[in-house]
Chains A and B, each alone.
Chain A
Amino acid sequence: MELMKHSKVFALAAVLALIAGCGSTGNTEEVADEVTEEVVAEEVLSSDGAVAEAADSAAAAEAEANAASDAILPAINTIYFDFDKSNIRSEFYDVLNGHAAYLMANPSAKVKLEGHTDERGTPEYNLALGERRGNSVQRYLSLQGVDASQLEVVSYGEERPAVRGQSSQAYSKNRRVEFNY
């Protein structure tokens, strides 16, 4: 399953890279639209609390309205991780693909990938873990063809929680990488 997802992503990346190479705006638009639609679809389909939290309906509507134009900034700016893990959960591939498409369509765009953890465990280990999460996203985007100069990883560890509280739900929303353009 994961392998299949990966190969699909690579194929898409290859196509995008080719298109970016020939520089035809028309073609870029077409592919970019497809990516945007995928992201929107993800929002609608997903019943996952963590993803739903990041997506608000206004942003989704805006995304739809702009679907005809160039690759737009994806509405979902946060992806989430499991405790003490930095591997990307397959449910977020589409979100990342959306950002990859946007970054490739906008080579002057730069993004800070901000890695965060929940408050459990030690602050410095969590800084390293947050960086690892950021690096995972950076590596994924690079594999899609995003230029390294567009990406910067900053880890905040457990210092900047998105949600207060000590429930497992709060923790799951704090273990994240945020895209900060």
Chain B
Amino acid sequence: MINARHLITTSLLALVLLLSSLAQADLTIRITKGNDQAIPVALVPFMWKGKGSLNEDVAGVISANLARTGLFRALPREDLISLPTKAEEVVYRDWRLLKVNYLVVGSIEALEGKNIRIRYELFDINRQESLLSESVAGNLDNLRNRAHFISDRIYERLTGQKGIFSTRIAYITSVQKGNTMDYTYRLHVADADGQKSRTILTSKQPLLSPSWSPDAKKLAYVSFETGRQAIFVQELATGKRYQLTNFKGLNGSPAWSPDGKKIAMTLSRDGNAEIYIYHLDDRRLTRVTHHYAIDTEPSWSPDGKSLIFTSGRSGGPQVYRINLLSGEESRLSFEGNYNARPRYSPDGREIFMVHRGSGGGLFSIAALNMDTGRMRILSTSPLDESPSVAPNGAMVIYALMIGEKGVLGVVSTDGRIQYELPAANGNVREPAWSPYLN
């Protein structure tokens, strides 16, 4: 669901637009424009053909998913003038009057035991045709998961781009006991909408930098549980984990290679923060960078042929790239005095990073276009960090501070929509968007 706070902010900003200067209006126009352009869709509640009531509102979940992309706007339920559940009941004229472009109807049938079958159909109102008609098997315990699957199908049919509603996010929470040094850190994995969170590790010592394996089955992360930094790898299905590194000094920034065979990381075993590649098959370690400044936060190019990373070699953190074959290094970021923790878009065209302008001020999430060299600012709260790109490249999740509380924010890569994920207990940080699960 789009955060209510965001909506309030939008209306407040609209008010500011009327009353105040153009400079302040800029931001408002961008947000309002995004909302205006969203394509209206109607999702009729799916009819339940079984006993009792369901624990999930399937059409509601799909509706919220589509709205969260910023591309679609769901018609409020009270505005629905009829409640069709199958094609024969759809009267196109009614939906044209409501000015919706697309309509989704469906029903859920109870089968043996807990099994169910969801039938749904997607219609193009203007063309008066059915775009998608499917039957999806499931059970009473995975209704939400099925709703995400259907959302993915609908999104892909309408946009031509794969949906990310069935993907997951990993993140870290920390809870401080009163004003003491007693912290509890947890590593969580949740659905992309922030729901169905489960804790996969709890520690009294800091946890950070979760990185997904490309098959989405494992996470590598940094834990201080041994009293110093170490990189661990954990299998999500079994919870089985092992310690990958135990070098003197830094053991940080694990980043799984696209082929899943290597993990890039930061070590200071040779005296200074440098980037290394750990080969998982033969446990070989290759050193990548050689510079007396800090080199850290490596991330792979989609083709696995180069790494981008943060280096302090110019006097402050900036983003660099190294070609792993030739060893050739180049500086990529020039605008601003703090550019760090780069992450490629899946198509390799943009690099998302933490950015602070030359005048100082906010730490924002920004996108650097690799063709034009131009930097686009995507977020505007004061302390934004840890950008992680969804596998379809449409959204970026990041960490921000609201007062003294850390929460997760999501912004579409076109800047059209921005929302915060439902707050969990404690400070939320270090989000990592999973690859596709299938």
Contacts and interface: CB of A to CB of B under 8 A. Distances in A.
- The interface centre, meaning the residue of B206, B294, B341, B430 with most chain A CB atoms within 10 A of its CB, is B294
Contacts, number: 84
Interface string A79-100: 0000010000000000000000
Nearest to B360: A83
Contact of A122 (B224, B297, B382): B297
Given A131-B268, A160-B206, A166-B404, A125 B317 contact: yes
A132 B272 CA distance: 8
A-B residue pairs, 6 tightest by C-beta = A128-B273, A159-B206, A122-B341, A128-B294, A122-B340, A124-B253
Contacts of A5: none
A122 B384 CA distance: 9
A160 B174 CA distance: 11
Interface string B302-326: 0000000010100011000000000
A120 interface: yes
Interface of B: 179, 181, 206, 208-209, 224, 227-229, 249-250, 252-253, 266, 268, 273, 294, 296-297, 310, 312, 316-317, 338, 340-341, 354, 363, 382-383, 385-386, 401, 404, 429-430
Contacts of A153: 249
A38 to B, nearest CB: 30
A121 B266 contact: no
A123 B254 CA distance: 13
A156 B223 CA distance: 11
A132 B228 CA distance: 15
Given A131-B249, A160-B181, 13 more contacts: A84-B316, A119-B383, A123-B430, A124-B253, A124-B296, A125-B296, A125-B317, A128-B273, A159-B224, A160-B206, A165-B404, A166-B382, A166-B404
A129 interface: yes
Contacts of A127: 229, 250, 252, 266, 296
A121 B249 contact: no
A164 B317 CA distance: 25
A121 B252 contact: no
Contacts of A165: 404
Interface of A: 84, 119-125, 127-129, 131-132, 153-156, 159-160, 164-166
A138 B382 CA distance: 34
A154 B228 contact: yes
Given A128-B250, A159-B206, A121 B338 contact: yes
7 contacts: A122-B310, A124-B297, A125-B297, A127-B229, A131-B250, A131-B273, A160-B181
A125 B181 CA distance: 23
A155 B251 CA distance: 10
A125 B383 contact: no
Nearest to A119: B383
B316 A124 contact: no
A121 B268 contact: no
B354 A121 contact: yes
Contact of B209 (A124, A131, A154): A124
A159 B406 CA distance: 13
A128 B208 contact: no
